[in-house]
Homo-oligomer: A and B are copies of this chain.
Amino acid sequence: MITYDEAYNKVMSQTLEFGTESVALLQGIGRILADEVRADRDFPPFDRATKDGIAIQYATIEKGIESFKIEGVISAGMPQRKLSDTHNCMEIMTGAVVPENADTVIMYEHLNIKDGYATLNTSVVKGQDIHYKGSDVISGSVLLKKNKLIGAAEIGVLAAVGKSGFLVKKLPKVCVISTGNELVEVSEQPLPHQIRKSNVLSLYAALQKENIEPKLIHLRDDRESIKKELIHILKTYDVVLLSGGVSRGKFDFIPEVMETLEVKKVFHRVAQRPGKPFWFGAQESYKTVVFSFPGNPVSTYANYHIYFLPWLRKSLGHGSIEKHVLIEKAISNTTSLTRFVQVKTQNKKGVIWAMEVRENGSGDLTSLANSDGFICLRPREKAYKKGESVPFISTNPQA
């Protein structure tokens, strides 16, 4: 049995690369950028009016002139015009190109317009209300760095520079395996000794949030069929997530079959609760890693978030953000195991407080739905006291 820190480091040292692929602009949200993105032109690409009003040459005001003959109207989307007489003005709309010979925009609110003339009713600053060419970004500048997570703002940037498609990190092919002859499909009516699959569906949904659509496979407790299926699975998928099947029972054939298929056991059993009987291995010639989680819902869910998600993010080059929370009520961990305790969090004036969620053993279905994540309590003699900050593994990004 190894410690949580050892287990975490061993998992993180087994990251894989899945290559890159091109996606259409609107298919890219939530993906990780595989290339930097540069400006293909200056932004703004021209001196752009930021108000509706008139464009003038400031020098004309300096000559004492306050009334300007209107030469024409420029709206957004028109090619650049030219002020033919610098004593005149042109009406100009937000987003339009400032005409040649003009250098200042004055909004309608500061003008009186009558008989084809615009007259100032307030003072003017040279160059005002123009968003100058290249003032945000000059052509060739890096706008988005490689390995950035694509959100809505990034989609806007990609659109602005003309990327109707772009290169992202490929996601792993993931196979989620349920085991155990007691399991029946969700749509079935279980007999009294049977239960419906739920862990693997929870994993499926969690993977969907990472834009991964895994393959779901059920293995019955039968050595030969497990072996036949696993050969194919190890060859086909980058990641295998198992729920159940690695305890010490007479019908848990998976560890021994893994061995015959040259899946190297990296470790089995971690000094943690829940999630102790976690088995992690790698098949090096197929470049496949195997996360074999204990069969109960809380253990599977905890280990998915504690180990798999950081492993995935590191593999994609994105990394994880470390979070901490303050504990609301003293709690101790004098065991020899690292404890992961379900909590509900609350942001009070910028401080994140964590309240323990009462949990009814590691088979408890509903506690996970009431939690925002797990706090990590390492073994120690002294109790963790109210207000102490502890590491937090979030399972609810909205909280």
Binding site for B on A (CB under 8 A): 25-26, 28-30, 41, 43-46, 48, 50-52, 73, 75-80, 91, 93-97, 108, 131, 135-137, 143-144, 148-149, 151-164, 180-183, 186-199, 201-206, 208-209, 221, 244, 247-252, 295, 297, 301, 321-326, 347-353, 360-361, 363-366, 368-369, 371, 389, 392, 395-399
Nearest residue, chain B, Cβ from A142: B366
- Contacts known (A131-B361, A247-B52, A347-B322); A189 close to B205, Cβ less than 8 A: no
Docked pose: A383 CA to B385 CA in angstroms: 35
Q: A13 CB to closest chain B CB, in angstroms? A: 24
Docked pose: A321 CA to B398 CA in angstroms: 8
Docked pose: A91 CA to B105 CA in angstroms: 88
Nearest residue, chain B, Cβ from A363: B131
> In terms of DSSP, what is the predominant structure of the interface of chain A?
loop
- Picked from B75, B321, B361, the residue with its CB within 8 Å of the CB of A399 is B321
- Contacts known (A152-B301, A209-B152, A366-B137); A159 close to B196, Cβ less than 8 A: yes
* Pairwise interchain contact A160-B196, C-beta atoms closer than 8 A: yes
* Pairwise interchain contact A321-B301, C-beta atoms closer than 8 A: no
- Picked from B91, B197, B368, the residue with its CB within 8 Å of the CB of A159 is B197
Docked pose: A46 CA to B143 CA in angstroms: 59
Docked pose: A205 CA to B364 CA in angstroms: 36
* Pairwise interchain contact A398-B160, C-beta atoms closer than 8 A: no
Known contacts A91-B250, A148-B369; 4 additional CB pairs below 8 A are: A30-B209, A76-B182, A96-B182, A156-B199
* Pairwise interchain contact A195-B97, C-beta atoms closer than 8 A: no
Docked pose: A195 CA to B164 CA in angstroms: 14
| 25 pairs, CB–CB < 8 Å, chain A vs chain B | A29-B208, A43-B365, A44-B195, A46-B192, A46-B193, A52-B248, A52-B252, A73-B250, A76-B180, A77-B180, A80-B192, A91-B250, A95-B295, A152-B209, A153-B202, A155-B205, A156-B205, A158-B201, A159-B201, A159-B202, A162-B186, A162-B189, A321-B347, A323-B347, A351-B351
Docked pose: A78 CA to B250 CA in angstroms: 14
* Pairwise interchain contact B204-A389, C-beta atoms closer than 8 A: no
Task: Enumerate chain B residues within 8 angstroms of A30, measured Cβ to Cβ.
Answer: 209
- Contacts known (A156-B365, A202-B159); A93 close to B251, Cβ less than 8 A: yes
The list of the 4 closest CB pairs from A to B, nearest first, reads A77-B181, A156-B202, A153-B368, A52-B249
Q: A348 CB to closest chain B CB, in angstroms? A: 8
* Pairwise interchain contact B365-A180, C-beta atoms closer than 8 A: no
Task: Enumerate chain B residues within 8 angstroms of A25, measured Cβ to Cβ.
Answer: 186, 201
Task: Enumerate chain B residues within 8 angstroms of A203, measured Cβ to Cβ.
Answer: 152
* Pairwise interchain contact B198-A156, C-beta atoms closer than 8 A: yes
Task: Enumerate chain B residues within 8 angstroms of A50, measured Cβ to Cβ.
Answer: 361, 363
- Picked from B45, B163, B324, the residue with its CB within 8 Å of the CB of A190 is B45
Most buried by B among A25, A205, A350, A397: A350
Nearest residue, chain B, Cβ from A349: B389
Task: Enumerate chain B residues within 8 angstroms of A162, measured Cβ to Cβ.
Answer: 186-190, 196
* Pairwise interchain contact A157-B80, C-beta atoms closer than 8 A: no
* Pairwise interchain contact A193-B365, C-beta atoms closer than 8 A: no
- Contacts known (A73-B250, A180-B76); A195 close to B45, Cβ less than 8 A: yes
